[in-house]
Amino acid sequence: MAKNGCPTYRSTRGGQSGLQFEDAVFEGLARDGGLLVPDFIPDVSSTLKSWSSLAFHELAFEIVSRYCPEDVIPAPDLRELLKKSYSTFEHPEVVPCPKYGDIHVMELFHGPSSSFKDVALQGLGNLYEYFLKRNPRRLTILAAKSFKDVALQGLGNLYEYFLKRNPRRLTILAATSGDTGSAAIHGLAGKEKIDCFVLFPEGRVSPVQQLQMTSVLDANVHCISVEGGTFDDCQNIVKELMSDLDFKQKFGIGAVNSINWARILFQITYYFYTYYKLCPACDGELSFSVPTGNFGDILAGYYAKRMGLPVKHLIVATNANDILHRFFTCGEYDKGQVYATTSPSMDIQISSNFERYLFYLYGEDSSKLAGAMSSFKATGKLHVDEQTRELASRDFLSGAADNDMVKAAMQAYHKAHGYMLCPHTACGVCAFDQLRGKDGLGDGHKVVVLGTASPAKFPEAVVDATGVQPPPPPAIARLEGAKTKCMKSSNSARSIYNTIERSLYDRGTYLHYADRPKEERCDALPCEAGMWLVALDVEGTLVGEAWLELQRKTGLEELKITTAHEPDYDKLMMYRIDVLRRNGIKLQDMKDVIGNMEPLPGCKEFLEWLKKVVPRVVLLTDTFEEYAMPLFDKLGFPSVFCNSLTVSEQGEITGHILRLRDQKRKAVESFQRLNFRVIAIGDSFNDISMMKAAERGILMHASEKVVKAHGGEFPICTDYDALKERILDIVMRPPATPPKPLVIPAPLEYESAYRRMWLVVTNVAGTFAPEPWPALGAMTGIEELSTTTHDVPDYDNLMQVRARLLREHKITLENVYEKLKCLDPLPGANDFLTWLKPIVPRSFMISDSFEEFAEPIFHKLRHPMVFCNFLESDTDGYMVRHVVRLRDQKRLAVEEFQRLNFRVIAIGSSYLDVPMIKTAEAGILDPLPGANDFLTWLKPVVPRSFMISDSFEEFAEPIFQKLGHPMVFCNFLESDTEGYMVRHVVRLRDQKRLAVEEFQRLNFRVIAIGSSYLDVPMIKTAEAGILFKPSKHITDAHPEIATAMNYEELKTRILEIIDTGS
């Protein structure tokens, strides 16, 4: 819908519509892969004459304001923004248009980078800055291509404007064939809240162009030389990253090349301005010959013509990379080889802006265009019929020039007029020369060639053609002897992604790209915020103080005493209990008060934000469980670290059970031993020891006394927004905080004798959620992925096999993560956890799987994620290894919880869970669902059964016991002195087959049931055999063996065997 007479914006492919101007500027590429266009083109023909005497920036305001409503940028702000954008140009007319011979040259190279792109990027940078200051967010801008000072000056200021009005971060990624990069850099260097990344093909830009980019040393500028690539490769990387919605959201993606609508918009101005200089009475027509590769500059002329500017012809001028010329003359837009020419900024085979014109050529039919672009992406070919080509030829004429033709034009012009053309501008001259005398391009008609860059940017080509060294403008003269900085990257989107991530961390604006894992601790992967864990005090930090709330309800002044008055928490609690007893206040009275308490305003939103930044969070409280349980539940966290009360039969509180003295500090030290760096956040004297033990501490909602005593040691926050900033400073901005030395755990004191509470530690995958790899195997049809530690205890080897399979089937980690997002907890899992909460309210979930699987599953289980591992990818996005955060983490976690004075019930389902289960006071290892029911059914049918396991005894024993079956056949594991596994002891090789043979000697007919290759010899030896839930590989290898995929099928197979007397 039009807003204040201005258009909204839609995608050429139909997937987005109704975007306002600011959204269109920041969106860049549409989410469906299309380009954004206005939903109508304003007609200004009735106001043409009134603009004829305007200065360049005043004319720019009249044009831009037709597309940007005043409630997005008020008129005074827009005027100032545009005036600022063009104040950096060295010529007072910004784009002068001198005449040489029978043509005029529109000199677009008087901006900071001596190219036409400055016109847009100076404005775009300011525009982004304006918007970002108004609305805080991080934005990564992607750009591609080269005459651009005029457009890019405006675009730079536009960004700056938005940044000022709406503060956020902006990071620019520009793919350049030479000029966009330097124009973008000069338009954005030093801009607050903006980082600028420029990709250029190594060896395919001129030395001056490269120096213009790499000599800008501002910290927010990052140049990347793409090895072995062309501009098309760089541009394709930009488009791939722009199409990655997660990437766009993570970095806040925008664009400064001509895929950004604002770039085109700013370039429209110089067509109008030049027309007024040559036709001040508005009484004639002009033609423009436009050197173009990416179709952006000439598209601005097309919009100018559609707006009502009297333009007779728009001439598409290309070099030897003539895909556009072939389209307008033959109707064939076929991708070919990219040739290196003397006009490198036009060495392009895919013109990214051409899609906008095709949208209009196809009658604004989005579905037709989307089909054509999809076909072009697949085949590299796009053909139109002769009728459509005829329509296109009414909009554009075209010409092409090879290097010899360009050189000849440069030579002739210098000889005839003493004027130096850059090789790109010479392409424009050549195209006009080819069409001279045709289609009304005869004597007396005014023709303008767009001078896209200063000849001094291409001295080799100029000297070769004219024999004269072009005099450098001041901006280029200053480059001599300049220091430079530049990074190199391989030619892939993943490599660029990683380079951006690493550079932003080094700059202090994003995440730490950590070192490789060390022997004791594993640093974070690039996508992780430093392997941090946040330990949060609850009372006073996230919720109100229970005792102060009770004091407000009762009016008892004695209950105002806190740890600020009595640091010994045990003594303080006994004092409070005495106050309650003397005033007849019982436990139920306290519960009534607590039941009405809610988390502090903004607390829940903060915790949701925190899960995305540092998903490993633990809540700690020294108060009692009756207070903690309901409030933890409201916060969405299980109650773990808390104390308890003793209560008389009459409901009076008689004592306080301190589960563990100084438990918060000891909990922090335990998590450090479990390979975490800890941020501890608290509000009271009772939290100080925890904060000192942690790598970093923060005071939140602290009292005046606490601030006075410890304000010099810790940063102080009074609201959650400030707390967010502090956390971001720690986990995302250098210098990185090193881990503290690990504290040797002290033995439990007297608490261990009678103050121990139960805590449940449970595995997740296979116990409460589907195993991710079998699930992925089912989704992809790759049966081998279904192998788990049930079958292969060597987890490292298993993960390498999985990595190989994913690569062979061209499945990247992003594909894996996307598929696994849809997994839900196992049926009954949430019901069980709900039942568990009042029975054993303290629980921790642990997964040896990877975080991208664990995080959404933990969220669905309504449990914070703490313990998990990671997957690491190569530059192409394929899995290369499984990063084990802490070897044997489940067992070590149980040991740490025991040191924290808990009795542990460990629940698991696989080989990896057995050490944890053995370490715990009580362990549960679950059989497969339905197993016991099947055995109950089997007993009257075939009462004689034996179970055989090649696994180790510690796994087998509890499982056999749950199955109600004595354990006989199994093997063993052997450990070293430190408790690590060193080998698997096989009690009897091929024991399953030998056991079957012995039972046959004892006059039994045997039905053998198994599931793996190890079971096949046993099955083939028996009178009858069944493969239960076998992998596809096994069934393919042994089609002669009957199969059963569930217990009902297994029952049927057994009955068939018995009935037939096999």
> Mind telling me the catalytic residues?
117
Read off the tokens for 228.
Answer: 């072995």
For residue 399, report the phi and psi dihedrals to the nearest 5 degrees: -155, 160
Pairing relationship of beta strands 969-975 and 981-985 according to DSSP bridges: antiparallel
Helix pair angle (179-188, 207-214), 10° resolution: 20
For residue 822, report the phi and psi dihedrals to the nearest 5 degrees: -85, -5
Q: Which residues does 158 contact at the CB level (< 8 Å), separation at least 6?
A: 25, 81, 85, 123, 124, 125, 126, 127, 128, 130, 131, 262, 266
Read off the tokens for 628.
Answer: 């903690």
What is the SS3 assignment for 540?
coil
Location of structure tokens 């930044």 = 613
Q: Which helix (H) or strand (E) holds 131?
A: helix 118-132
Q: Name residue 746's amino acid.
A: A
- Cα–Cα distance between 214 and 485 in angstroms, integer? 5
Cα radius of gyration (the chain): 36
Nearest partner of 68 among 123, 121, 15, judged by Cα = 123
Give the neighbor-by-neighbor strand order of the sheet with 902-908: 879-883, 867-873, 843-850, 757-763, 902-908, 922-925
What is the SS3 assignment for 510?
coil
Read off the tokens for 509.
Answer: 């604006």
- Cα–Cα distance between 391 and 409 in angstroms, integer? 31
Nearest partner of 482 among 225, 218, 211, judged by Cα = 211
Inter-residue contact 85 to 157 (CB < 8 Å): yes
Nearest partner of 182 among 250, 240, 109, judged by Cα = 109
What does the DSSP 8-state code read for residue 865? B
What is the SS3 assignment for 122?
helix
Q: Which residues does 934 contact at the CB level (< 8 Å), separation at least 6?
A: 1047, 1050, 1051
Q: Is 356 exposed, middle or buried (0-12, 13-18, 19+ CB in 10 A)?
A: buried
Instruction: Count the neighbouring beta carbons within 10 Å of the beta carbon of residue 217.
Output: 11
- Cα–Cα distance between 278 and 779 in angstroms, integer? 66
Pairing relationship of beta strands 221-226 and 311-318 according to DSSP bridges: unpaired
Q: How far is CA 564 from CA 476, 560, 691, 715, 854, in A?
A: 66, 10, 16, 19, 40
The residue count of the chain comes to 1062
For residue 602, report the phi and psi dihedrals to the nearest 5 degrees: 85, -10
Q: How far is CA 1044 from CA 183, 782, 1055, in A?
A: 68, 20, 13
Read off the tokens for 786.
Answer: 């279904």
Transcribe 935-995 into DSSP letters: HHHHHHHS-----EEEEEHHHHHHHHHHTT----EEEEEEE-TTS-EEEEE-SSTTHHHHH
Inter-residue contact 681 to 535 (CB < 8 Å): yes
Instruction: Count the neighbouring beta carbons within 10 Å of the beta carbon of residue 680.
Output: 29
